[in-house]
Amino acid sequence: MQLSTGFSFIIPYFDMKDEVVWGATAMILFELREILKSEP
Q: What pLDDT was estimated at residue 28?
A: 92
Distance of CA 37 to the CA centre of its chain: 16
6: region left, alpha or beta (phi > 0 left; psi from -120 to 50 alpha): left
Q: What pLDDT was estimated at residue 8?
A: 81
Reported as a single tens digit per residue, the pLDDT across 1-40 is 667 788 887 777 888 889 988 888 988 988 998 999 987 7
Of 9, 35, 4, whose CA–CA distance to 22 is shortest?
9
Q: What pLDDT was estimated at residue 32?
A: 92
Of 40, 32, 39, whose CA–CA distance to 14 is shortest?
32
Does this model's pTM top 0.75? My answer is no
